[in-house]
Amino acid sequence: MGQQYKGRAEEIPNEEPILERVKKAKECGRPYGFVLLHQGILDKLYERLPDNQKSKQTKQKYMERVIKQIQQQGAVWHIVIHSGRGGVPDLPEGVKFVHLSSLEAWFGSNLSKADVVDELMGVRRQEQ
């Protein structure tokens, strides 16, 4: 999810559509093994929180809360954050990071689902 908002960041909804999608997949008996989230989407969702909510939680805490909800509501095994930025953001425990260029290469080269899963399983958590 997210490509449809390219260039239209003001139209990005809150995290509810993401949570609904993983929840429905779980309820159908086909939970996602992986959820890849773009760092920019998470940043925009945090920035749009009302000031009183932002003052109660840091961006890191917000990200932890959203990721925990995805894992619980969707029974998701792996959360991977991706971004085209140079550095790796501070991530909650157990969350992995991959550069957007890797994702583009995987999907741009028409890899099989098995190959993409192998690549995703090979992503290691970077030391902070």
Whether 106 is covered by a domain: the verdict is yes
Q: pTM for the whole thing?
A: 0.75
Q: Minimal CA–CA distance to 98: which of 111, 79, 113? A: 79
What φ, ψ does residue 83 adopt, rounded to 5°?
-160, 155
More confident residue, 88 or 22: 22
**Number of structural domains the chain divides into:** 1
Question: Does residue 128 surpass a pLDDT of 50?
Answer: no
Instruction: Say whether pLDDT at 9 is over 70.
Output: no
> Which residues have C-beta within 8 Å of that of residue 45, sequence separation ≥ 6?
12, 14, 15, 62, 66
Question: 126 in a domain, yes or no?
Answer: no
- Calculate mean pLDDT across residues 5-29: 83
| Residue 109 belongs to domain spanning | 3-121
Residue type for position 77: W
Amino acid at 104: E
Dump pLDDT digits (tens) for 43-88: 888 888 888 888 888 888 888 899 999 988 888 888 888 888 766 7
Residue 87 in any domain: the answer is: yes
Average of per-residue pLDDT across 7-11: 70
Amino acid at 21: R
What CATH number has the domain bearing residue 107? Answer: 3.40.50
